[in-house]
Amino acid sequence: MRREIPLLITGIVGVVFVIQYFIPHYPFNQLNNWFSDWFSIIAACAIWLGALNLLKVSANKIYRKREDWGFSIVIIVCFLIITIIGFAEGEGFRNIGTKFDWLYQYVYTPLSSTMFALLAFFVASASYRAFRARNFDATLLLVAAFLVMIGRVPVGDAIAMKLHLPLSIYPSEISSWIMNVFNTAGQRAIMIGIALGIVSTSLRVILGIERAHLGGD
């Protein structure tokens, strides 16, 4: 019961999607529509699950007075503030001028953007400390990175212009060639490799051979 039903669900749903690819007509298109709507609702609940779990973990931290428990209060309070405002404002909660939109523009946007922007500093620091031409392979990687970095910004061409280099070896031309030829070849090899992996894993999942998603017991 605990394993058979999930296996059956996976198999049926997977097969319907495969058939629908070849026969996009009734009843398979109908089933496809139903399944994709259910998928959206489940996806929403999965994200709700994540949010509720966050609240549970934070509340637990406060209750047990673990290290930095005060910040868990901030998490819960902020969650409640945006949730209450979002629910109170109704369906148009995202419209410009709403309180929810204010929170989006002046709290959510700066925080999320800066969190990712911080990586710029660490990329630079790591490049200085760890990016070394230790062997031929690493040298290729380093040279390609160098050429792309200098070629994708105007300063590369500005320097080439000052040095009166031929147009065909301008950094922008070289980086464009690297991207369109070597990068395309490498990405394509990786892409085909990953796709074949996905195809075989999907087949194993649909046929019930791969059961990792069902967990233990």
For residue 187, the minimal CB distance to other proteins (Å) is 5
Q: Which of 60, 65, 195, 209 binds other proteins (CB under 8 A)?
A: 195
Per-residue x/- mask for other proteins, residues 113 to 142, rule CB under 8 A?
Answer: xxxxxxxxx-xxx-xxxxxxxx-xxx-xxx
Cβ–Cβ < 8 Å for 121, 152: no
Site string for other proteins, 70-109 (x = CB under 8 A): -xx-xxxxxxxxxx--xx---xxxxxx---xxxxxxxxxx
Binding flag, residue 145, other proteins (CB under 8 A): yes
Count residues near other proteins (CB under 8 A): 152
CB of 171 to other proteins, least distance (A): 10
Indicate whether 41 belongs to the interface with other proteins (CB under 8 A): yes
Q: Does 192 bind other proteins (CB under 8 A)?
A: yes
| 66 makes contact with other proteins (CB under 8 A) | no
- 156-185 binders of other proteins (CB under 8 A): 157-158, 161, 170, 172, 175-185
Among 14, 59, 62, 165, binds other proteins (CB under 8 A): 14
Cis peptide, bond prior to residue 27, ω within 30 of zero = yes
**Minimum distance of other proteins from residue 169's CB (angstroms):** 14
Regarding 9 and contact with other proteins (CB under 8 A), the answer is: yes
Binding status of residue 149 toward other proteins by CB under 8 A: yes
Binding status of residue 37 toward other proteins by CB under 8 A: yes
Report CA-CA distances (Å) from 169 to 148, 175, 180, 192: 13, 10, 15, 31
Among 27, 38, 63, 66, binds other proteins (CB under 8 A): 38
* Residue 143 is a binding residue for other proteins (CB under 8 A): yes
Nearer to other proteins, 64 or 137 (CB): 137
Q: Name 32's Cβ contacts closer than 8 Å, sequence gap at least 6.
A: 16, 17, 20, 24
